Chain A
Amino acid sequence: MPDIGKAAVIGAGQMGSAIAAHVASAGVPVVLLDIVPEGADNRNELAEGAIAAMLKATPAPFMHRSSARLITPGNLEDDTGLLSDADWICEAVVEDLDVKQKVYRAADSARKAGSIVTSNTSTIPLSRLVEGMPEPFASDFAITHFFNPPRYMRLLEFVPGPNTRSEVSDSIREFCDVRLGKEVVRAKDTPGFIGNRIGIYWSYVAMSEAIALGLTVEEADAVVGPPMGIPKTGIFGLVDLTGIDLAPKVNATMLAMLPPEDAFCREFDTEGPLVSLLSDMVADGYIGRKGKGGFYRMLRDGTARELQARDIETGEYRAVSKPRLDSVEATKDSGLRALVEHPDKGGRYAWHVLSRVLAYAASLVPDVAEAISDIDRAMTSGYGWKFGPLEMIDQLGCDWFADQLKAEGREIPPLLDAAAGRPLYRQVKRDVQQLSPEGEYGTFEASPDAWRLADMKRNREPITRNGSASLWDVGDGVACLEFHTKMNAIDDGTIDMVREAATIHERGYKALIIGHDGDDFSVGANVGIALFAANAAMWALIERKLSEGQQAFLALKYAPFPVVGAPAGMALGGGCEIMMHCDAVQAHAETYIGLVETGVGLVPGWGGTKELITRTFARKGRPGGPMPPVLDTFETISLAKVSGSAREALDLHYLGPQDGITMNRCRVLADAKARALSLVEGYEPPPSPEISLPGPSGRATLTLVVDDVVRRGKATAYDRVVAGALADVVTGGETDVTRSLDEHRLLALERKAFMALIRRTKTLDRIEHMLDTGKPLRN
């Protein structure tokens, strides 16, 4: 299988340039070409402008600024030569067949034999794209459909043509999966592929049913949102986000492309209230968040802000009100079925929307996707749904759902007939099986290098568990420590389990990984418990817990077997600290790491300060003398810096040279396990570090730095107190450069600083504010 070592993207518009940025983030050099605008001084203006703009954009398209250097900008007139050594050329120009084919011809004459060409089209069938193109081109060609923004949206729809060579398919799929971290879903060459086919229909149904049933936009979003496992933007919030002006366009495109017997074409009411509503809003400039607002808008009056929602009927805006729907409440305890069966308007709306959308999705197998799981994966990874539509049918009860449709005299999708009362998915021993359109069950094969903990847990008991964490056998003598508290905050139970994990060799395991399937590795210690204890003046208890955490993490660090952390999402505070006590970390590329304790008026007290300072000291090629690493560590912790990606965490030394990054979330645990196994042979626990710190003289320097920041109004008087406590730790307390300090001394300093701060009212105010609002308090 040919390896892709260099790529090119043609078209430096929003999608093309962001795809190029993401390829660069993966460490692959990439050429970015666009046309020479008429009369341009700078012939590379489009590509160069796009790169410059992306360096400023939020959310950032790059995982690290330095990746921008991997993009070579150019133009289609002078620089097609740059395509000659590209292994993959991705076209992302306007959705115009002639333009695309012109680009293909130019690329075809410049590219090397056997290189891969793909299109990012979302609307033009592959059959049309290759029409009239030479035979070798067609066999090297496929569609790779990214979702916007490509760095963050995990779905990639892959559509090969009848002539696409299998090596081409294998190699581009592998590249997108492993290197770019995408969830690659095979789709057939039909309009809108999978995600948009269902998404556009869903959006139309959800909006027009809301109007028909007279729900407010807040009510509608409260129903077609979290109760269905759909992001809380619901439908109207989502359309505001994607742009209301876009909705009529995509509807028109789909109507033009889909066969007239498709449900979307049959049900779309061109005279209906939704069509006129959208066109009125666009005419008034209410095009969504990128304009002056849409179904919601933020009204700013001086410093006052009010979030308002549009009254669909009158077009007036009024303050949003939190809808109270019994049906939504009912879902919390009793699930999706309770929602659609509820007699209130929320329940009726939910049924109207889901019955149509789920039946539509079921009807798309096998013409749009080969397998039902492809449909579900497209919706979960492309639209952020927690469950795919076919999984939702199982939640409702596949037979119940079919009966319900029957009772209402509606068409039954053949898939449901084939199911004949059986679920669409089922579990047989440790296997998950899915139903084919022919009514046969087939087993999923979990790949040994891409699995989720759920695959390992199925039909198994943990090695041991408590309310906060569990230990699992993940095969080959490796155990996995899983957290499962709310947001995976670390509490007593977690620490108990860490202690347990540190003795896993006694049960015959030879390595440990720490990770799970959750969105966030850990948001840190459960400060709610600490706050309660502090309010009750239970200082001895707090100090004991602090000590226990330190000891547990040390036990992990010096355990006689390798330990590999496998974080993804947020790894903050205590979550970062536990990670830093691992032999190595295999982080998902989207891991946001930080010691954020100063935000709540504390210092990292579970060895985080100790680890960061000792690591910063041990770094090869660092500037000489004790002060540079002290200053570095002090700055990182006092500003509570959080990395915007795993790559950025390297700069902050939360991650180091021993650590690796995995692009695909599904591969993190497998990679971590492989890494752990690679360390087993001849494993020796790390030596215990000893460092020399400057003591009071260094502290005086830090005080000057902080005073200056306070004087410039960039920090509060209390920030100075917190920074002072931190300064005591990072400069080593009462010491000087001639003495060397061991870990225990540094941990004692952490405890002392922590205990001094947690007794202070302003720290308690900060913790309370963080718990209540999720935001730091500047007091």
Chain B
Amino acid sequence: MTAYHAPLRDHRFVLHELLQVERYRNIPAFADAARETVDSVLEEGGRMAEEVLFPLNRSGDEEGCHFEDGVVTTPHGFKDAYRTYREAGWVGLEGNPEHGGAGLPQIVATSVGEMAGSANLSFETYAGLTMGAAHTIDTHGDDAQRETYLPKMFTGEWGGTMNLTEPHCGTDLGLLRTRAEPREDGTYRITGTKIFISAGEHDLTENIIHLVLARISGAPTGTRGISLFIVPKFLTGPDGGPGERNAVTCGSIEQKMGIKASATCVMNYDGATAYLLGEENRGLRAMFTMMNRARLGVGVQGLALGEIAYQNAAAYAKERLQGRALSGSTSPGSAADPIIVHPDVRRMLMTMRAFTEGGRALALWTAFALDMSRHDPDERARRDAEDLVSLITPVVKAYLTDMGFETANLGLQVHGGAGYIRETGVEQFVRDARITQIYEGTNGVQALDLVGRKIPAHYGRALRQVFHPIDQFIADAAEDEDLRDMAGLLGKSFGRLQLATAWIGEQGLKDPEQAGGGSRDYLRLFALVVVGYLWARMAQTARDALGRGTDERAFYEAKLATANFFLTRMLPDTSSLLSKIMSGKDAMMALEAEQF
């Protein structure tokens, strides 16, 4: 049996103490970000996750979705839970208030999203995709499109999907074949097959709005000829509600490793009526502008599973009695000490904890930048935030999901044999976490995006948003008695990141394969330094709180200790990463393809 407790205290720490979002209340989008408001949203969100979503996590996994005659039924209880969830207003939390969204900052929605993801990732995918589709319509649609779809989507009455993948085309969208033929009346007929479409068909909403990438007849081949379309399951009726059934059907659903309660569908388009969203042949671009938000969302899914895995592992380690502490028994009265006394178990728990808390800071810092990139009244500040988001998004997606999986796996390890047994429930976190490394662009592709696109853009301009604050922080912290040691550790790793960045920048121009070969290690090195920086800042925040006097000493002292663990036991991986990167591609590319 697993348990979940929303980590509200830690969210509050990041939002209020580290990032101090309240300071931005002069910005209209943050007008409602008063501490009490935010706290009550988090509390409600946490309760909903614990009480409504979490109880269905295990049963949903056991039961999975059902498919019959094109109809998909979600597991028992999902429909009711969804109604509760949507009626409480959770779907459109960060939706545009002009179209019926609640207009909360992305950063608050991200916190809530993490809690929902921990409690029940499968469930979270339905609402998550609806918001992904809705934001895309909000950004690229015309007024009529926004008016037609957004209010229904923000309330969760209608669902949404993203249809990119086809049987022969996943990462390489240039290969896309789905066709769109223009009709006289300005609409299009879409024909083709999409696969692996999450929430493509289900029984939670009365209508589903599919966003579909397709090629208009006569459009150029490759990525330059792809357009984006709105294809509703039901065309809008005269009353604005669902009308005629459109020619889009679900052909089957997949049996899969995890997120079993999330329907993964084959979607068949047989001349379905479609409306162009945005400009002709600019579909991929439109999709990309929404990618940052979606990728942050998937990163947070990885984090969410790390969090619940950590909670259960920590609880188990305090209960399970095996062996004696090396330094002498802590519970001489019992037959054995709890396994939490063992250094190797501590290693696992501290790694999990340092990741989830550091990862949370990273996710919320990024979400905050996303808010600023849209809402800061100063144009230059918006551009700076946009630069930061574009640079850090692939790092967030890949690092949080790789580490989310690793953390879920460590959590299983802490459970020993019990972890491997279904009934214990923690193996589900491992299985559920695995997909986050793959969808929304595989982590390998995230690394390529970082080294091939984000780093070189504008002569490394986006780097400035990360490297300059870190550089400044290290310089300042070196003058600070308490932080000097951490600054030293961070400084060393930052130097490695700079070296690797210069190397990648130089090699990228000469021999892109060198940069490609080092890309995954570079992304990890980048992530470690950025999280190390956030940990050092969190340590500073905790130190300041302790200095001011607090009745939460244990909380802040644990922060300092965890910061120290990250900086001394996790951050130094940068050293081996740097050597791997600088060794170049040769060892990697030595064999001919036939030799495999």
Contact = CB atoms under 8 A, between A and B. Distances in A.
A342 B288 CA distance: 35
Interface stretch (A18-26, A80-88, A203-211, A527-535): A527-535
10 contacts: A531-B459, A535-B467, A536-B467, A536-B502, A536-B505, A539-B471, A541-B498, A541-B502, A768-B459, A768-B461
Contacts of A113: none
Contacts of A536: 460, 463, 467, 498, 501-502, 505
A771 interface: yes
A535 B502 contact: no
The 7 closest A-B pairs by CB, nearest first: A537-B471, A535-B460, A532-B460, A537-B467, A531-B459, A535-B463, A535-B464
Interface in B431-462: 458-462
A420 interface: no
A764 B380 CA distance: 14
Query: Does more than half of chain A's interface fall in helix, strand or loop, or is it mixed?
Result: helix
B459 A538 contact: no
B468 interface: yes
B470 interface: yes
Interface residues of A, number: 17
B366 to A, nearest CB: 19
A541 B462 CA distance: 19
A528 B460 CA distance: 9
B470 A531 contact: no
Contacts of B502: 532-533, 536, 538, 541
Contacts of B463: 532, 535-537
Contacts of A533: 502
Contacts of A538: 498, 502
A531 B463 CA distance: 11
Contacts of A528: 459
Nearest to B461: A535
Nearest to A531: B459
Contacts of A764: 461, 464
Q: How large is the interface on B (under 10, 10 to 19, 20 to 34, 35 or more residues)?
A: 10 to 19
B460 A771 contact: no
Query: Does more than half of chain B's interface fall in helix, strand or loop, or is it mixed?
Result: helix
A531 B505 CA distance: 12
A567 B462 CA distance: 37
Interface string B277-319: 0000000000000000000000000000000000000000000
B459 A537 contact: no
The interface centre, meaning the residue of A534, A536, A764 with most chain B CB atoms within 10 A of its CB, is A536
Nearest to B500: A536
Interface in B502-517: 502, 505
A546 to B, nearest CB: 16
A768 B458 contact: yes
Contacts of B461: 535, 764, 768
Contacts of A541: 498, 502
A768 B467 CA distance: 17
Contacts of A535: 459-464, 467
Contacts of A531: 459-460
Nearest to A541: B502
Interface string A406-444: 000000000000000000000000000000000000000
Contacts of B460: 531-532, 535-536
A535 B459 CA distance: 8
B479 to A, nearest CB: 17
Given A532-B460, A536-B498, 18 more contacts: A528-B459, A531-B459, A532-B463, A532-B505, A534-B464, A535-B462, A535-B463, A535-B464, A536-B467, A536-B501, A536-B505, A537-B463, A537-B464, A538-B498, A541-B498, A764-B461, A764-B464, A767-B459
A764 B502 CA distance: 17
Interface string A754-773: 00000001001001100110
Interface in B367-404: none
Contacts of A534: 464
B468 A537 contact: yes
A767 B461 CA distance: 11
A536 B498 CA distance: 6
Interface string A540-562: 01000000000000000000000
A761 B460 CA distance: 13
Contacts of A771: 459
B405 to A, nearest CB: 30
Contacts of B501: 536
Contacts of B471: 537, 539
A772 B459 CA distance: 10
The interface centre, meaning the residue of B460, B467, B470, B505 with most chain A CB atoms within 10 A of its CB, is B460
A323 to B, nearest CB: 15
Interface string B460-486: 111110011011000000000000000
B574 to A, nearest CB: 15
Contacts of B498: 536-538, 541
Given A764-B464, A768-B459, A771-B459, A537 B505 contact: no
The interface centre, meaning the residue of A533, A539, A541, A768 with most chain B CB atoms within 10 A of its CB, is A533
A541 B501 CA distance: 13
A536 B505 CA distance: 10
Interface string A503-534: 00000000000000000000000001001111
Contacts of A537: 463-464, 467-468, 470-471, 498
The interface centre, meaning the residue of A531, A538, A761 with most chain B CB atoms within 10 A of its CB, is A538
A771 to B, nearest CB: 6
A452 to B, nearest CB: 30
Contacts of A539: 471
A536 B455 CA distance: 10
The interface centre, meaning the residue of A535, A767, A772 with most chain B CB atoms within 10 A of its CB, is A535
A534 B467 CA distance: 9
B467 A532 contact: no
Nearest to B384: A761
Nearest to A492: B506
A507 B332 CA distance: 82
Nearest to A527: B459
Interface in B396-444: none
B459 A532 contact: yes
A534 B468 CA distance: 9
Interface string B210-227: 000000000000000000
B191 to A, nearest CB: 29
Contacts of A772: 458
A468 to B, nearest CB: 13
The interface centre, meaning the residue of A531, A532, A767 with most chain B CB atoms within 10 A of its CB, is A532
Nearest to B220: A324
Contacts of B458: 768, 772
A537 B468 CA distance: 6
B387 to A, nearest CB: 10
A541 B495 CA distance: 11
Interface string A336-376: 00000000000000000000000000000000000000000
B493 to A, nearest CB: 14
B35 to A, nearest CB: 32
Contacts of B505: 532, 536
A534 B471 CA distance: 11
Nearest to B463: A535
A531 B468 CA distance: 13
Nearest to B501: A536
Contacts of B464: 534-535, 537, 761, 764
B504 to A, nearest CB: 10
A528 B458 CA distance: 9
A212 to B, nearest CB: 28
A375 to B, nearest CB: 40
B521 to A, nearest CB: 17
A517 B498 CA distance: 38
A532 B470 CA distance: 16
A537 B469 CA distance: 9
B382 to A, nearest CB: 15
Contacts of A768: 458-459, 461
Nearest to A772: B458
